[in-house]
Structure 1
Amino acid sequence: MSDSTKDAAAEGKGHPRSPLLPVRHSQPDFFVCDVFDAALKGDTASMEHPIFSLSKKPDMKVRRYENGDSWAEVRPGSKGLATVFDRDILIYCISQLMAALNSGRPVSRTLRLRAHDLLIATNRDTSGSGYLKLREALERLQGTQIATNIITGGKETFDVFSLIDRARIIRETREGRMQEAEIVLSDWVFQAVEAQEVLTLDRSYFQLAKPLERRLYELARKHVGQQLGGWKIGLEKLLNKCGSQSTSKEFRRMLEKIIADDLQHDHMPGYVFTLDGNMVECRAKPSTKALPFRLPGVPLRTETYEQGRQYAPGWDIHALEADWRNWIANKGIQPHKPDAHFLAFCKRRGRYPGFQ
């Protein structure tokens, strides 16, 4: 079976009028960490790399990305690479952290959560099968590793980390179902939260049944956002960005099917895709409201630059500031504490330069 997953999940067979999965539970809006802002140093608008697999079967393929002297690898664990559906767990965890930060509460990498709440929030099945799939997803998230070289001051070092450091079941029901779990996020994911590298996620994202639909939405959310301008990309390049293991011919067929379904059902959240020859264009749908945005021109304190140099040794601090200002301008972010936000950006750039 290819990453089309037969074009329709078994769960959606009872809903032939729409490609979307049914809404199983009511749920609020979520924040999602922009983990696909994983570009090797260079053009961050076009060099993000797929971390999560589109396959529903164990994906054991190592993915390697290079740019000059920098490289990064995404390596599967014994259960395979984490999938785009496993990412729901990270979305939920980061949503909780963002809610805490926005209300002024302290946060940490360790989260204790109720499994039932997570399943409901991510529109998952709450039967015994749902809990089993949740356990398997935690195993893949912990087993998937990202390895990268870090070059600082002309010296190369090696770093390897998992998407989550640990997952532990705290309590189970008498039937053996997970009741409470403890998840320890990796530094890489947690620092993305501290730097507020997050994007809002349409709630119907969790209703998208096809892995490719989810990946297309993620790319559209990153490149188009809620701006009025569109985004164009070659079909072959889009195939690679999606992390699809399909042939070019099969990928085109799947994309054409998604476009045709969206024309009929308007099921893709926020964005519309069109295919003209070998070029793909994505634009925000007319109903997508633009986010208010003001260019962040607030000056930073002198001591902020000094501290930033310590967090990112070997980097030009003013070049980092320019990157930071361009990044928050493109994202439409308005930091409540600009100095702290910039320092978090420096810390992350210094810690994981291979993903910039």
Structure 2
Amino acid sequence: MVCEISNTVPSEVFGEVRRSPLLPDRHPNPDFFVCDVFDAVPKGDLASMEHPIFSLSTKPDTRLRRYEQGGQFVEVTPSVKGLATVHDRDILIYCISQIIGALNEGRKVDRAVRLKARDLLTATNRMTNGQAYEGLKAALERLRGTTISTNIKTGGTETLDVFGLIERARIVRETRDGRMQDIEIVLSDWVFNAIEAHEVLTLHRDYFRLRKPLERRMYELARKHCGHQSEWSIGLEKLREKCGSNSTLKEFRRLVRNVVEQDQAHSHIPDYSVNLVERSNEVEKVVFVNRQTMDWRNSHMTSDLPPLSGDVHNAARQIAPGWDVHAIEQEWRSWCAGKACTPHNPSQHFLKFCMSWVERRG
């Protein structure tokens, strides 16, 4: 789907007209969210939050991508229509959210997700006009056409396979004016394994109001790596790599600086503030600081558990080599919440949980 441009918002500053950093909330009335759409909290899978699978460009991106880290690789091959974009990812987020909601209610789920097109557009803060439905069709084609080859583990399974982000999409019914109503999407095993293992993270609803693909990608990385910690920093060059940006370092610096300046003026990035630390003769760093706004959206986690330090995460990687320790941490927090357990020594308790995790899964 193409990046959307909304109406500008008037400002009295020097008589100028400024555009809000966030898209307008197009569906503020909960009555629009039928079939528990409003209650399905947005979720993103950890694997695609870690790796730059989706394109930041709103124009067709036909570059072949390959990334390697710690013995794991992911190779992303576009179709002739280009890679799936960050905005196309909204469809996967919606599907993941619906399945997680069903699992939490004890309902049986499978890879096939049946949904209403209008519900999806509404939940992801999109327009519901004819152009939006056409954009949805194009997004499904890009998701189906984007091919991934990877050995990343999801749900305890190491996949050495080639597959699409979705296996199939089918428009079940259209209205007389050509607008789709029912859609059936079959997710890939890779995505579905991550869902079944709860290797997902909750996203702020304002994620769908972020205008720029780069802002969305930066938020995803902060949500994945900073989590509930007080702050997280990353080198500018490394951030460019993780975002999958095709810009030069100089241009990427300018783009990040624009995001930082807007966030400092409007505090519009959800959950985290963002700063660019530029020093001569040192690595430039982007620093994300936790706004402490996530507790109410993570009721499945006990708020009594403090953030874990980087040293604890490093120790966990020694115990569980090849595993995503942040995903294990989410399982640990959920387990503690379910048992109403508040460990006296959370760090030691988490490391023991890692040992048990590895023993159970070999």
Short-chain TM bin: 0.7 to 0.9
2:8 equivalent in structure 1 = 13
Q: Give the counterpart of 1:60 among 42, 59, 62.
A: 62
The Cα of 1:78 is off from its aligned counterpart by 2.1
* Matched position secondary structure for 1:60: coil
Contact 2:224–2:326 (8 Å) recurs in 1: no
Percent identity for Structure 1 against Structure 2: 54
TM-score (norm 2): 0.75
Looking at structure 2, the residues matched to 292 and 323 of structure 1 have their Cα atoms a distance apart, in angstroms, of 23
Residues paired across the two proteins, number = 301
Residue 323 of structure 1, CA deviation: 4.9
Partners of 1:287 and 1:164 lie apart in 2 by 32
Give the alignment partner of residue 34 of structure 1, picking from 45, 69, 78.
45
Find the counterpart in structure 2 of residue 45 from structure 1.
none
1:249: which partner in 2?
A: 250
Shift of 1:329: 2.4
The amino acid that maps onto 1:292 is T
Query: How far is 1:71 from its partner?
Result: 3.3
Deviates more, 1:112-121 or 1:71-80: 71-80
Secondary structure at the residue paired with 1:134?
helix
The answer (yes or no) to whether the contact 1:226–1:289 under 8 Å persists in 2 is no
Distance 1:326 1:76, change over 3 A: closer
Distance 1:150 1:195, change over 3 A: closer
Note if 1:329 corresponds to 2:329.
yes
Tell me the C-alpha RMSD between the 2 structures. Answer: 3.1
Give, as a single letter, the amino acid of the residue that structure 1 aligns with 2:103. L
- Cα separation, partners in 2 of 1:70 and 1:279, compared to 1, 3 Å: closer
Distance 1:182 1:327, change over 3 A: closer
Deviation at 1:49, TM superposition (A): 1.8
Any idea what SS the aligned residue of 2:114 has? strand
Match of 2:27 among 25, 28, 31: 25
Residues in 1 aligned to 2:322 and 2:208: alpha-carbon distance in whole angstroms: 35
- Aligned counterpart, 1:234: 235
Decide whether the 8 Å contact of 1:144 with 1:162 is kept in 2. Answer: yes
Cα distance in 1 for partners of 2:55, 2:106 equals 35
1:117-196 matches, within 5 Å, as 117-148=119-150, 158-196=160-198
Cα drift, residue 86 of structure 1? 0.4
In structure 2, do the counterparts of structure 1 residues 116 and 239 end up closer, same or farther at CA, with 3 Å as the change threshold?
same
Which residue of structure 2 aligns with residue 354 of structure 1? none
1:113 to 112, 115, 124: 115
Shift of 1:181: 0.7
Q: Deviations over 1:286-313 (max 9, x none)?
A: 4454852577xxxxxxxxxxxxxxxxxx
Q: Is contact 2:54–2:83 with CA below 8 Å preserved after alignment? A: yes
Aligned to 2:343: none
> What residue number does 1:308 align with?
none
Q: Which one-letter code corresponds to 2:43 in the other structure?
A: V
Unaligned runs of 5+ in 1: 39-47, 296-317, 351-356
Unaligned runs of 5+ in 2: 11-17, 31-37, 279-283, 306-317, 340-352
Check if 1:292 corresponds to 2:287: no
Shift of 1:246: 1.0
Find the aligned partners of 2:88 and 2:218 in 1 and give their Cα distance: 16
Higher RCO (CA < 8 A, seq sep 6+): 1
Q: 1:132 to 1:324 in 2, by over 3 A?
A: closer
The 1:71–1:186 alpha-carbon spacing in structure 2 relative to 1, beyond 3 Å, is: same
Q: Which amino acid letter does the alignment assign opposite residue 253 of structure 2?
A: R
Aligned pair 1:279/2:285, yes or no? Answer: yes
Deviation at 1:37, TM superposition (A): 5.6
**Aligned equivalents of 1:89 and 1:198: distance in 2?**
15
Corresponding position: 1:211 with 2:226: no
Q: What secondary structure does 1:268 align onto?
A: coil
The CA distance in 1 between the partners of 2:113 and 2:60, in whole Å, is 27
Distance 1:9 1:111 in 2: 26
